[in-house]
Amino acid sequence: MQAPLHSPTPSACPRLALFDLDHTLLLGDSDVLWCEFLMDQGVLDRAAFESRNRDIEARYKAGSVDPAEFANFYVSTLAGRTPAQWEPLRQQFLRQVVQPRIPPAALALVRSHQQQGDQVVLTTATNHFLTELTAIHLGIGEVIATEPALRDGVFTGATTGVLNMREGKVTRLHAWLAERGLALAGFDSTGYSDSINDLPLLEAVDTPVAVHADARLAAIAAERGWKSLRLD
């Protein structure tokens, strides 16, 4: 079903559109798909990773997984290689796995905000290295994501800084704005997400929009009268 294009109400404030990625603009989860992709490529041992991948995915969807456990499990898949060594696989992952899962309606929604002059930001719990190519494909120039740590140019398998997940998304957003001399209160802000994990972000913006919402978020959205979309 095609989603209606964004139709902003007149506002004296500049507009800010914040997009979650996984299960929102992307029909799937980048981290889970990356893990499956690496198992298919023989880079990760399926016996060691498959069951844990499924377990962490299930607990993330339920909103019960520990953010550090979630982030560090998926960032650990990068350990021991440089960004340049990962680049061929990252490009292949984008072409074969990510691009086919971005529906035209998602691209159209992003473009509608951009055409209205809104500042558009992709904000995702998935790590920056994995998602920056997706952002480029979406035409989004600003990305707030979990940051993987490097030592001597090599991924350590750990994260650094505040994780961009749950309350961390709000913390990172405020920090991103402050670095630019801006504040969230100065914007007419809209946030899009599918997940109960993003409830803090959706509560922080002026216009929360549930996209392909999970059961818990859908219930909250219905109770509070939030907008709801499908982009698939």
* Active centre residues (catalytic): 20, 22
- Find out whether 26 and 134 touch, Cβ atoms under 8 Å: yes
Only one residue has tokens 């209606």, namely 4
- Find out whether 75 and 158 touch, Cβ atoms under 8 Å: yes
Crossing angle for the helix pair 67-75 and 30-40, to the nearest 10 degrees: 30
Residue 81 is given by DSSP the state: S
Helices (H), 26-146: 30-40, 46-61, 67-75, 83-93, 104-115, 128-138
Instruction: Give CA–CA dist 72/58, Å, rounded.
Output: 16
Tally the residues of the chain.
232
Residue 211, CA distances (Å) to 15, 16, 59, 130, 132 in order: 19, 17, 20, 22, 21
Helices (H), 116-192: 128-138, 167-179
